Amino acid sequence: MNHSPKRAVNVKARGDLVSEAKTLGINLSATFEGALEIAVRTARIARWQEENREAFAAYDKRVATNGAFSAGKRRF
């Protein structure tokens, strides 16, 4: 859990959703922060995968050509 200081932001959302969320007792700030954490994590993963795409392809090619490093050690 990150204990970084909170910062006020302005966010626009559909009025009907905001009203229903308040009626249901949903904490909008906590919900937004949780969704933002997921979106940031997802974007970081996608960026890392793209940055390493060539390495993945080279490894896949090596395994296709030479087999996995542990192929002779497996018992399944």
Domain assignment of residue 7, yes or no: no
As a whole number of angstroms, the distance between CA 72 and CA 53 comes to 27
C-alpha–C-alpha distance, residues 72 and 69, integer Å = 8
Structure tokens at 28: 């909008």
User: pLDDT-derived band of residue 76, with 50, 70 and 90 as boundaries?
Assistant: low
The band of 67, judged by pLDDT with boundaries at 50, 70 and 90, is confident
Distances (CA, A) of 40 to 27, 37, 43, 62: 20, 5, 5, 32
- Alpha-carbon span 8 to 58, nearest angstrom: 45
| Domain interval for residue 59 | 15-66
Residue 72 lies in a domain: no
Instruction: Please list the alpha-helical segments (H only) found in 1-76.
Output: 15-23, 28-51, 53-66
Instruction: Report the number of distinct structural domains present in the chain.
Output: 1
pLDDT digits (tens, 9 = 90+) for 6-48: 999 999 999 999 999 999 999 999 999 999 999 999 999 999 9
Residue 33 maps to a domain: yes
